[in-house]
Amino acid sequence: MRPIATTRSASGTPTGRLAVWWVIASEIVIFGGLLASYIMFRLSHPEWAEYASHTNTWIGAFNTFVLLTSSLSAVLAHQAAEAGNGKKAAKLLYWTMLGGITFAVVKGFEWNMEISHGFTISSNGFWSFYYTAAGLHALHVIAGVVIMGIVAQTAKQNLELHRVELIGIYWHFVDLVWIFLFPLLYIAK
């Protein structure tokens, strides 16, 4: 049973959403620390531009496209949930999950290709950051897909519809991180 505490809202923001903002705040500093380190190294090692030229911009761009589109379906799911249409929200969440899965699968192929060309995580600093940053992000994508599956399952029965918004906000944040990873890892050459 849910405690009364959970239903109160002294700050004016519903508890669930407030918590998601705090999660995102703590995620900003995790990715922030990693990316700040990357940028420092990148600026002090001009030769990394050469290493970076082996990344495939088109795959990166395709994945950006996939994530942006999945963000659209996530926000549409939120809209449907607000309108009380749990079925539609669930369906849109499934589309979002499909986007996340596509992203992960493409990433898998991309890495497989790069590793087979000899660009492994220990090749040099650039590739270490490439795999670590994108890997940390991919873990967030996979976690998002799993949670979204659970949320969609309850939303389908018109239960806990506020969760659709919560997972949506998280998903947009994951999208946002990728928006910065894409130029940092692929475009800057």
Partner 1 sequence: MSEHAHPNYFKIWAWLLVLLSISVAGPMLEIPVVTLITAFGIAIVKAYLVARNFMHLNVEKKYVVYLLTTMVVFMLLFFAGAAPDVMNQEGDQWYKPKVEAEAAATPHH
Partner 2 sequence: MAEHAGEAAHGHDGHHEMSFWSKYVFSTDHKIIGMQYMFTGMAMALIGGFMAYVFRMQLAFPGEAVPGFGGVSPADYNSLITNHGTIMIFWVAMPVLIAGFGNFLIPLMIGCDDMVFPKINRLSYQIFLLSAIVLIVSFFVQGGGFGGAWTAYPPLSAKAEYSLTPLGSTLWLVAVALEFVAFLLGGINFVTTTMNSRAPGMKMYDIPMVIWMIVVASILFMASVGPLIAGAVMLFMDQNVGTGFFDPGKGGDPILWQHLFWFFGHPEVYVVLLPAMGIVADIMTVFSRKKLFAYRTVLYTVFGTGVLSFTVWAHHQFIAGVDPRMAHIFTITTLLISVPIAEMCFVYIATLYGGSIQLSTPMLWALAFLAEFLIGGVTGIFLGASGADVYFHDTYFVLAHFHYTFFPIAIIGVFAGITYWFPKMFGRHLSEFWGKVHFWGTIVAFNCIFIPLFMLGAAGQHRRIYNYNHFPDLATPELQRLRVIATSALLVMLAFQAVFLINFFYSLFKGKKAEKNPYNANTLEWTAASPPPHGNWAELPRVYRGPYEYSHPDRDTDYWPQNEPN
Q: In the complex, which residues of this chain contact partner 1 (CB under 8 A)?
A: 11-13, 21-22, 24-25, 28-29, 32-33, 35-37, 39-41, 43-45, 47, 57, 61, 64-65, 68-69, 71-72, 74-76, 79, 82, 122-124, 165, 168-169, 172-173, 175-176, 179-180, 182-183, 187-189
Q: Least separation, in Å, of the C-beta of 65 and partner 2? A: 27
Nearest 5°: CA angle at 59, between 25 and 170?
20
Which residues lie below 8 Å from residue 91, measured CB to CB, with a gap of 6+? none
23: left (phi over 0), alpha (psi -120 to 50) or beta: alpha
Side chain identity, residue 8: R
| 158 contact, one of partner 2, partner 1, none, CB 5-8 Å limit per kind | none
| Phi and psi angles of residue 78, each rounded to the nearest 5 degrees, phi first | -60, -45
Residues 8-47 that bind partner 2 (CB under 8 A): 8-11, 13-15, 18-19, 22-23, 25-34, 36-37, 40-41, 45
Rounded to whole angstroms, how far apart are CA atoms 76 and 74?
Answer: 5
Rounded to whole angstroms, how far apart are CA atoms 7 and 16?
Answer: 9
Residues 61-120 that bind partner 2 (CB under 8 A): none
User: With binding defined as CB under 8 A, does residue 143 bind partner 2?
Assistant: no
| 142 contact, one of partner 1, partner 2, none, CB 5-8 Å limit per kind | none
CB distance 127 to 45 below 8 Å: no
* Residues within the interface to partner 2 (CB under 8 A): 1, 3-11, 13-15, 18-19, 22-23, 25-34, 36-37, 40-41, 45, 121-122, 124-125, 128-129, 132, 136
